[in-house]
Amino acid sequence: MKKGILLVNLGSPDSPEPKDVKKYLGEFLMDERVIDVPLWARNLLVKGIILNTRPKASAAAYKKIWWEEGSPLIVLSERLQNKLQKQVEQPVALAMRYGSMTIKKGLQELVDKGVEEVLLFPLYPQFAMATTETIIVLAEEIQQEYFPNLNIESVPAFYNKPDYIEVLSNSIKRHLQGKNYEHLLFSYHGVPERHIRKSDITKSHCKIDGSCCATASKAHEFCYRHQCKEVTRLVGEKLKLEEGSFSTSFQSRLGFDPWLQPYTDRTIERLGKQGIKNMAIVTPAFVSDCLETLEEIAMEGEEIFHEVGGKYFTTVPCLNDDDEWVALLSKWVKKWATSESILA
């Protein structure tokens, strides 16, 4: 059977203009796995409130980070796709969960090349219902409706795979060489606490109070909080970071519900107020730099730090099209292509 790979990332608006941002946010936030409330409440919240207020502010933020070639997230994902394609013989397509580069188009591109078996690769190291799960569910629906003869195998979260931790650690080490930072903050995209409870397959493990994530449980296969904390712990171990010189926080909250804590903006502020003058920040929930890393962290985060007396603020880029990262993806694809269990 002819095989192919479909890389899937989040997506971006077609342009940083408010009308395109509104269209994109409308699709994104109406996803029941992103804003997980009943349809009537989601309609009220998204169409009645958020889409009347947020697109203008979001568009202004997108304008600050937009490149000549387009959205950084899309351009960087394309660079990754092109580099990977040079290293593997199977066709590699790229799709986005939201926006114009749909999963249906990506699957069609592979089918047109004669592909019968697809490796669906959500570009997220940690599992979340708002990311990995929504991609897998939508891809299955599209497969059943439009491509009934296509086999699809999904890549699970790879947050704790030793070769991933090594590639991430090497990248952090390389970018922070000679920076003499006092604290390294691992900032992950946040999710509402409710998402963590919903994804708990044991229905009783997750407590959100910090007592559960360090206790072994089947629930961790789908626990975003545990998986983020593990990435921090494993990288800390690999880089031999001193206890207290690194920590985890969660960024980009939206709305009034409690999200995972501590929040990144407040953590940056606290570190500055505690007298830290030189800090570094890494964002391992994103494999490609995007609005959330280039604007919220590199611009807003730095401003907060300076306001409270901080001096040096270094952001580590996402893995993007890093050579070691591409080599690792190519190794995983080759394993899958020879029918060995992927990520084993």
Ligand X SMILES: C=CC1=C(C)c2cc3[nH]c(cc4nc(cc5[nH]c(cc1n2)c(C)c5CCC(=O)O)C(CCC(=O)O)=C4C)c(C)c3C=C
Which amino acids are annotated as binding site for Fe(2+), given as ranges?
Answer: 189, 292
| Contact of 4 with 93, CB cutoff 8 Å | yes
Q: Which is nearer to ligand X, 143 or 288 (CB)?
A: 288
Peptide bond connecting 38 to the previous residue in cis, omega within 30 degrees of 0:
no
Asked if 34 is part of the footprint of ligand X (rule: CB under 6 A), the reply reads: yes
- Min dist CB 219 to ligand X, Å, is 17
- Min dist CB 111 to ligand X, Å, is 27
Q: Which is nearer to Fe ion, 150 or 206 (CB)?
A: 206
Find the length of the chain.
344
> CA dihedral defined by 195, 18, 307, 272, rounded to 10 degrees?
20
Query: Per CB under 6 A, which of residues 250..309 are in contact with ligand X?
Result: 252, 254, 285-286, 290-292
- Min dist CB 267 to ligand X, Å, is 17
Which does residue 206 bind out of Fe ion, ligand X, none, counting CB within 5 to 8 angstroms by kind? Fe ion
Which residue stretch of 107-115, 124-132, 205-213, 305-313 sits at the interface with ligand X (rule: CB under 6 A)? 124-132
Hey, CA dihedral for 57, 60, 65, 68, is it positive or negative? Answer: positive
Instruction: State which amino acid sits at residue 333.
Output: V
**Separation between Cα atoms, residue 136 and residue 157, nearest integer Å:** 12
Pairing of strands 151-154, 183-189: unpaired
Asked if 35 is part of the footprint of ligand X (rule: CB under 6 A), the reply reads: yes
The residue from 42, 189, 220, 229 that contacts ligand X (CB under 6 A) is 189
Rounded to 5 degrees, what angle do the CA atoms 105, 65, 190 make? 75
Q: Which residues bind ligand X (CB under 6 A)?
A: 10, 12, 25, 34-35, 54, 58, 71, 73, 124, 128, 130-131, 189, 191, 224, 252, 254, 285-286, 290-292
